Structure formats: structure tokens, C-alpha cells
Amino acid sequence: MPVGMDVKGEVLQGIEELEKMHTTETSPLSALELFTRSRHALAYSSKAFFNPGMVGQLYFPAEHKYAIYMLFAPASMGLIVTLVREVKPFLSRKQEKKVE
């Protein structure tokens, strides 16, 4: 599954924000700074996850679409045949009434 460069950049930025929270050994971060960095990391990860190029690949890969269609084909054939069997007598009765 190919991942776009924009998605890769967003993921890396989110990871960088998380790493910045833990790599400040000289001066500890305040609670507000920790919250801000975690909020930014969450925003980057959400952007990457809900990127339009990724959402389609995550939920509807081409192989899964074909598999679903193949599941519905046998079931739909039975419905179509039954529909044709029911419509034929209806149409023949309708034409008989026109003739009379």
C-alpha cells in the first residue's frame, strides 16, 4: 500500500512532537507545554489517518471490493431469476386483458 509523502510527513511530525516531550533532560517542560505538544502530535496523527488518499485504501482496497461483488453475484442471480418468473405471468395476463 503506497503512502503519500504528505502522510509520511504528518506522521513524522507527530513522532517528533512526542519525542520532544521526552528529550528535554536539561529543563523539564511545564504541564501546559506537555499538553500543547501532545495536542500537536494528536493533530498530526489525525491528519495522517484521515487523509483522503489513505481513507479509501484503509477501508475499501480494490481486492475487497471485488470480493464483495463476488459474494453478491450468486445471491442476486436467484433474485433476478425469481423476479423474471413473477413478471412474465403478470405481463401475459395484462396483454390478455388488452386483447379482450
d(CA 74, CA 6): 41
Contact 54, 48 (CB under 8 A): yes
Average pLDDT, integer, range 59-74: 75
Q: Is the pLDDT of residue 56 over 70?
A: no
Read off the amino acid at residue 29. L
pLDDT exceeds cutoff 90 at 84: yes
Assess whether pLDDT exceeds 90 at residue 12. yes
pLDDT beyond 80 at 62: no
pLDDT confidence tier of residue 10, bands split at 50, 70 and 90: very high
For residues 11 and 5, give the distance between their C-alpha atoms in angstroms, rounded to a whole number.
Answer: 10
> What's the predicted TM-score (pTM) here?
0.52
